[in-house]
Structure 1
Amino acid sequence: MTAIRAEGLYAYYGTAPAVNGLDLTVPTGSVYGFLGPNGAGKTTTINMLTTLLRPTAGRAEVAGFDVAAKPAEVRRRIGIVFQESTLDLDLTAAENLRFQADLCGLSRRASREAIGSMLDLMDLSERRRVPVRQFSTGLRRRLEIARGLLAEPSVLFLDEPTTGLDAQTRAAVWDHLERLRRERGITVFVTTHQLDEAEHCDRIAIIDRGKVVTEGTPADLKSVIGADLVVLRTDDDQRAADALVDRFGLPAEPTPDGLLLRVERAAALVPRLCTELGVTVREVAIAPPTLDDVFLHHTGLAIRESPTGPRTLGNLGEGLR
């Protein structure tokens, strides 16, 4: 079954398309990642799918209903966690959820049960009477996710859910998301430009300039790259680079980190390099293909914003340090 489907979706701001003929299919019960740099069209897409923005052209369905023709039906079946926090800092955790329950039209009894359930799910029960102003950024994010789940949506939209969080808190938020997917079977649609977050997803769509350029599981997407990244530090990098070409037919890129090269089955080749290169190898590191490599492969750009422009082989070694 399909939780989200978009066909030929467009959104224009002025004369420029922010979303440019986007096609999308999200299976029910999956964690689906929408991966791309800032400005790629992620938030605009999520605004259309959640009925906050009417598509300029094309059509989309969420939970079986057309977002333009039946927006009220879509809204009854979705939860949203926005990129920017919208909590009332002067209310307690329970009061923020009670306000949301009133907006959703829950009865007093249903509201009380839902609030208790969500606070338990997100490990916030002990803080139910604490003003949100005293919460850390991570606790606020968990409360916002609890609020998005309050009306038991079939699809939960998360727009950059861990922006501004440290690595440990980001991991904790994803632990909670994995648990709620297992326990409640909902579909989670998450936009992100964090590569490690995308690894949590069942499937990923990479978006660039308003279009999906590729889609698949993280493993399938990385298999397109195939070759591992190898970084060699030697006594003489220039001699080593010449020897790599002459003896192994492998071009290498000199960088401050050492020699960088792409090699199939690098673990099997590295022992030969160390013994047959003719130059002393001081250090070697191997990294399998990453989602950043996938994005670079399909778009010519690194997903991480860089003032120096597109990422090249010469700076791909940053991730190994």
Structure 2
Amino acid sequence: MVYEEPGTLAVQASGLAKHYRGRAGTVEAVRGVDLRVTAGEVFGFLGPNGAGKSTTVRMLTTLMTITAGTARVAGLDVAHDPDGVRRRIGVALQEAGLDPRQTGRELLALQARLFGSTRAEAATRAQELLVLLELEDAADRRIKGYSGGMKRRLDLASALVHEPEVLFLDEPTTGLDPASRLTVWDEVRRINGRGTTVFLTTQYLEEADQLCDRIAIIDAGRIVRQGTPAELKAGLRERRGLAVDPTLDEVFLDATGRTRERVAGEVQEVTA
């Protein structure tokens, strides 16, 4: 196991586990996950249905208790200081929790007030985020009239209100058309370029290949492959003696022991 120097890790998990009591006995959803996410990178977290991907993310974001192991996010212990962790992270879930009756500006200003900003500070922060996410023209329209891509960008803005050190994105482009997906990619790059660490779960292998500095693949509750996209491709190429680098899709299939028939449409967020 490789450890970076103290102070460089945005996310650190050791032996992280989550067990449930089910009708058939104990269900081990996550079984000893080790993760090291360096501050400032875009980290991709991939896995097939039921692999433990979302369960891991929910533990890291304080939304679910930890059965065993330890996790530190933004330098704080998740189990012992969940409130502190929540103040340092932003979370944009797959289903955006947006009030359709509000305007984009009202939503962002309210979020800022909830994090302790004064009315003037909240108005200023809302305007900054509207500019950052290129939503100025729609700022004073009700959210119910926003397109899917605009709602995704507004949800990103909402997660950034308190300037989090780590931003967790749960399948941010699921259901978007190709043009909107590319726009969200640009926003993720821009957010990361301003210094925010991004922890990204996605069902799109191309998305992970384009955005992520490093990737971890989880299957059956354990990390089965980890590295940069280039390292993962080169490793599979060498192991199989291929003439050219494989795609990240092929790396995923190899790591999880799935076939193209089994994996088609399957890589979605676990609901456990």
TM (norm. structure 1) is 0.75
Tell me the alpha carbon deviations over residues 224-266 of structure 1, each in whole angstroms, 9 at most, x when there is no partner. 1217xxxxxxxxxxxxxxxxxxxxxxxxxxxxxxxxxx87436
The answer on whether the counterparts of 1:90 and 1:131 sit within 8 Å (CA) in structure 2 is yes
- Aligned residue for 1:285? none
Secondary structure at the aligned position of 2:108 is classed as helix
When residues 31 and 304 of structure 1 are mapped into structure 2, their CA distance, relative to the original with a 3 A threshold, is farther
- Aligned residue for 1:110? 121
- Aligned residue for 1:65? 76
Residue 307 of structure 1 deviates from its aligned partner by: 7.6
Tell me the alpha carbon deviations over residues 119-176 of structure 1, each in whole angstroms, 9 at most, x when there is no partner. 0000001111001100110100000000000100000000111111112211110111
- Aligned residue for 2:243? 265
Tell me the alpha carbon deviations over residues 169-204 of structure 1, each in whole angstroms, 9 at most, x when there is no partner. 11110111101211x201000111210111110000
**Structure 2 residue 12 is matched with structure 1 residue 5:** yes
Structure 2 CA distance, aligned partners of 1:13 and 1:303?
A: 31
- Aligned residue for 1:186? 196
Q: Please show how residues 136-155 of structure 1 align to structure 2 within 5 Å.
A: 136-155=147-166
The answer on whether the counterparts of 1:37 and 1:305 sit within 8 Å (CA) in structure 2 is no
**Structure 2 residue 258 is matched with structure 1 residue 294:** no
Residue 89 of structure 1 deviates from its aligned partner by: 0.8
Secondary structure at the aligned position of 2:15 is classed as strand
When residues 94 and 294 of structure 1 are mapped into structure 2, their CA distance, relative to the original with a 3 A threshold, is same
- Aligned residue for 2:98? 87
Percent of matched pairs sharing the same residue: 49
Secondary structure at the aligned position of 1:198 is classed as helix
When residues 305 and 76 of structure 1 are mapped into structure 2, their CA distance, relative to the original with a 3 A threshold, is farther
Secondary structure at the aligned position of 1:69 is classed as coil
Letter matched to residue 76 of structure 1: R
1:161 to 172, 175, 179: 172
Letter matched to residue 117 of structure 2: L
Residue 308 of structure 1 deviates from its aligned partner by: 11
Structure 1 CA distance, aligned partners of 2:224 and 2:51?
A: 11
When residues 308 and 187 of structure 1 are mapped into structure 2, their CA distance, relative to the original with a 3 A threshold, is closer
**Structure 2 residue 53 is matched with structure 1 residue 46:** no
Structure 2 CA distance, aligned partners of 1:302 and 1:148?
A: 36
TM (norm. structure 2) is 0.88
Structure 2 CA distance, aligned partners of 1:44 and 1:12?
A: 10
Q: Which moved more, 1:102-111 or 1:1-10?
A: 102-111
Secondary structure at the aligned position of 1:76 is classed as helix
Q: Please show how residues 146-295 of structure 1 align to structure 2 within 5 Å.
A: 146-182=157-193, 184-199=194-209, 200-226=211-237, 264-265=242-243, 288-295=245-252
Letter matched to residue 12 of structure 1: H
**Structure 2 residue 35 is matched with structure 1 residue 24:** yes
Secondary structure at the aligned position of 2:236 is classed as coil
Structure 1: any 5+ residue segments left out of the alignment? 228-261, 267-287, 310-321
Larger Rg: 1
Letter matched to residue 56 of structure 2: T
- Aligned residue for 1:100? 111
Tell me the alpha carbon deviations over residues 46-79 of structure 1, each in whole angstroms, 9 at most, x when there is no partner. 1111111110111100000000001111011000
Q: Name which structure has the greater RCO, CA cutoff 8 Å, separation 6+.
A: 2
> Which aligned runs of 4 or more in structure 1 are off by greater than 4 angstroms?
302-309
Structure 2: any 5+ residue segments left out of the alignment? 1-7, 267-272
Structure 1 CA distance, aligned partners of 2:13 and 2:265?
A: 35
Residue 306 of structure 1 deviates from its aligned partner by: 4.4
RMSD: 2.0
Residue 303 of structure 1 deviates from its aligned partner by: 7.9
